[in-house]
């Protein structure tokens, strides 16, 4: 049996990935199908300044793993708020409505990972709240 072709290992720099600001904050998919040839999920970084948030949404096919690197955020999952501080992680189950907010004055930085991928990108993310910046450019790879 032959193995399926694999993507060659490739380092991707955060600063080389365009930001998606439509849903709030600065969302960048660092390792995904378009940036690194990923086939099962994607990983990125969310930066929220004080008072910023990512609007409520859900992922019909994917779990989302959140790990706070710097600062703290409050994650509302299906209507219940959970504070998550630096050094802590949170799992958002498949289909759970969630919103990420930075209630502090200092910036927060969160690493996120979603898997498995939806059958097609347009099915991976469902918005349930008005977007804070719908006019912002929408990089194809940043679907968080």
Question: For the chain, what percent of residues have pLDDT higher than 70?
Answer: 93
What is the band of 143 on the pLDDT scale with cuts at 50, 70, 90? very low
Q: What ranges do the domains of the chain cover? A: 18-127
Q: What is the CATH number of domain 18-127?
A: 2.60.120.10
Burial of 44 (0-12, 13-18, 19+ CB in 10 A): buried
Q: pTM, whole model, 2 decimals?
A: 0.89
Strand order in the sheet with 89-92: 26-31, 42-48, 108-115, 63-70, 89-92
């Amino acid at each position: 049996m032959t193995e399926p072709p694999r993507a060659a290992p490739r380092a991707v720099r955060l600063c080389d990935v365009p930001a998606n600001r439509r849903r709030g904050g600065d969302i960048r998919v660092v390792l995904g199908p378009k940036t690194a040839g990923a086939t099962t999920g994607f990983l990125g970084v969310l930066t929220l300044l004080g008072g910023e948030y990512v609007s409520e949404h859900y992922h019909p096919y994917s779990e989302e793993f959140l790990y706070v690197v710097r600062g703290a955020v409050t994650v509302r999952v299906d209507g219940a708020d959970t504070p998550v501080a630096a050094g802590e992680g949170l799992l958002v189950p498949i289909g759970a409505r969630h919103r990420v907010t930075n209630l502090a004055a200092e910036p927060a930085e969160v690493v996120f990972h979603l898997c498995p991928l939806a059958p097609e990108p347009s099915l991976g993310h469902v918005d349930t709240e008005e977007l804070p910046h719908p006019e912002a450019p929408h990089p194809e790879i940043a679907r968080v």
